[in-house]
Structure 1
């Protein structure tokens, strides 16, 4: 499922640290992207609720999902990285989780476990000190 989020992402730029020499001090290459989950026209109400629950740690007080990138030396590269990260986050958030099927231990595994416990108890019993009168 591919949703075109780019239209709804608000981009903000700032100066980033790292490589770039003198360029770092004068060019705003770091890009932050903000996406309003509540205000999105692309998502259904159910999807919004699921995303708000799953991505709660990444959503700020104003209800915006914030992603930033400063790995590339160009603003364009960082903008593309923000879009990629945003898509990945939202797709992962909307992915259905597989339900776990409860299983029981097999008879052989139970026997192995009990056998191992008996062996361990024999080892420990062998460490006991004996008194001469016994």
Structure 2
């Protein structure tokens, strides 16, 4: 299992993840690869040290942790496994792109929900459908109930 450091990852909007926060290891992949699959470690495990990162704002880190879900380890790392392709380099690029996409999604601030009240028409429609349903049930019941 080969270990390595990758180059800094540019996300956009002036955000760069430093190379110290990223580490990658190469393992044998399952799936296509012919005779090579048992000899060459082409799958990539990319680890991003989320809690140690100093370039992302705290609110983005929280959203990123929520988005990562089960990919977030107990040690506070986001682990991305890439083994779609037959070559190590393409899997490496795939893992970095997937991490960048995840961080970009976390950079988007959710729109705050504005509390609204139901309209008069929607209240009337709801009550009318309840009356109709009540009438159907009343007609279905036997007369001696």
Q: Which of the five TM-score ranges fits, normalised by the shorter chain? A: 0.7 to 0.9
The one of 41, 59, 63 aligned to 2:72: 59
Looking at structure 2, the residues matched to 56 and 103 of structure 1 have their Cα atoms a distance apart, in angstroms, of 31
1:26-45 equivalent positions in 2, closer than 5 A: 26-45=39-58
- Alignment TM-score, normalising by the size of structure 2: 0.78
Looking at structure 2, the residues matched to 6 and 83 of structure 1 have their Cα atoms a distance apart, in angstroms, of 13
Question: Could you say which residue in structure 2 is the equivalent of 1:85?
Answer: 98
Q: CA deviation at 1:128?
A: 2.3
Looking at structure 1, the residues matched to 82 and 67 of structure 2 have their Cα atoms a distance apart, in angstroms, of 22
Structure with greater Cα Rg: 1
1:69–1:78 contact (8 Å) kept in structure 2: yes
Greater strand content: 2
Where do 5+ consecutive residues of structure 2 fail to align? 1-10
Where do 5+ consecutive residues of structure 1 fail to align? none
Looking at structure 2, the residues matched to 128 and 59 of structure 1 have their Cα atoms a distance apart, in angstroms, of 55
CA RMSD of aligned residues (A): 2.2
2:48–2:77 contact (8 Å) kept in structure 1: yes
1:14 equivalenced with 2:11 (yes/no)? no
1:4 equivalenced with 2:12 (yes/no)? no
- Greater relative contact order structure (CA < 8 Å, 6+ sep): 1
**Count of matched residue positions in the alignment of Structure 1 and Structure 2:** 131
